[in-house]
Homo-oligomer: A and B are copies of this chain.
Amino acid sequence: MGVAIVGVGITKFGEHWKSGLKELIMEAGIKAVEDAGISGKDIELIVGGSMSSGMFVGQEHTGALFTDYMGLSPIPAIRTEAACASSSVALSTGVMAVKSGRYKCVVVGGVEKMTDVYGNLATTALAGAMDRDNEAHFGLTFPGVYALMAQRHMHQYGTTREQIAMVAVKNHENAMHNPNAQFHRKITLEDVIKSPLVADPLRLLDCSPIADGAAAVILVPAEDAKKYTDTPIYIRASSQASDTLGLYTRPDVTTVGATINAAQNAYKYSGLGPKDMHLAEVHDCFTINEIIGTEDLGFCKKGEGGRLVQSGETKIGGKIPINTSGGLKAKGHPVGATGASQAVELVEQLRGEAGGRQVKGAENGLAHNVGGSGSTVVVHIMSRNRK
């Protein structure tokens, strides 16, 4: 059985000092419900991702929170968590729920509230995505994890500081056309390279920002999709893979094995390959990770990711536009909402509703969402075409 998306909703990403989890969820959820033209009573299940709502704002049990504040009790709700891939896991779980035949209309959402919280929790909470005992305990942070990957990539493949910075420049440019993006500010190569050092070689403008935000999509069986909308977007593959929790046990830190695994399964399952994709959202929590992602997803050969971004082919108008939304870097990265927001971007693009950032004639798109240093990777392939 196929599964289609018939509605999407998203908040602006950024600092929402007047909104907590509830307000963010309600805004994204209600927008998605309205977009699908359904009413609350049509919804049979909620699957919601959030990473560390407990540490950030002291609120667990966010599934029941979703249901309650969307006025949908007594329907069941599942909260999923897989670090920064939490809401892509929600999406793949929602797809499974529809495929099980039990649920005909499922809301999948993601939310995170990271700003305006007690103290400086971001680094502490985010470290929960790595191997706490064997990495965070010794002082490793996520900028540090990705800096290690960047250093090795530069050493092994000759990737340059400038190529890495080009990811940020491109994504900030794309975000200019995304009204929901956190940053609407063009930056230059020099801005990136002269921004404050965070973890060598990564600088401030290589890092995605913490943010508040939520996103939601409505899933139905593919055969029902046209009842809801003239422009359903079909989920052609939903694929997840794991790797070791710690970076330190992997044979090669310039590649994310779980991306290769999840992508190969997604391509096999959908019958589509990287050359069939008209755009991709690639997990650029740090600039280097977009470069590694484009390689592991098969958009170029291993080691060629730096040259790919330099070629301009990942810009809108290029062969394979990457992160048309602005990516995590410029759209913002409210961790539990990121996977769902990638799905929203693909749907808007494939419907032809992406405004100034529209990829012309986009028919197939891919979303790549990474948890931790690649311990969880989820790849979704979506299409305007059912088969």
The interface of chain A, by Cβ under 8 A from chain B, is 20, 22, 51-55, 57-65, 67-69, 72-83, 89, 92-93, 96-97, 99-102, 124-125, 127-133, 136, 240-246, 257-258, 261, 371-372, 375-376
A78 to B51, CA, bound (A): 12
- Give the residue name and chain of the B residue nearest to A82 (CB): B63
Q: B77–A242 contact, CB under 8 A?
A: yes
| CB neighbours of A245 from chain B (8 A) | 61, 64-65, 68-69
| CB neighbours of A240 from chain B (8 A) | 76
Q: A241–B76 contact, CB under 8 A?
A: yes
A176 CB to nearest B CB, Å: 33
Q: B64–A242 contact, CB under 8 A?
A: yes
| CB neighbours of A61 from chain B (8 A) | 81-83, 128-130, 245, 371-372, 375-376
Interface of A is mostly: mixed
| CB neighbours of A261 from chain B (8 A) | 74
A89 to B128, CA, bound (A): 22
Query: Given A82-B61, A102-B99, A244 and B132 touching (CB < 8 A)?
Result: no
Query: Given A54-B55, A99-B101, A102-B99, A375 and B68 touching (CB < 8 A)?
Result: yes
A260 CB to nearest B CB, Å: 9
- Give the residue name and chain of the B residue nearest to A101 (CB): B99
Q: A68–B242 contact, CB under 8 A?
A: yes
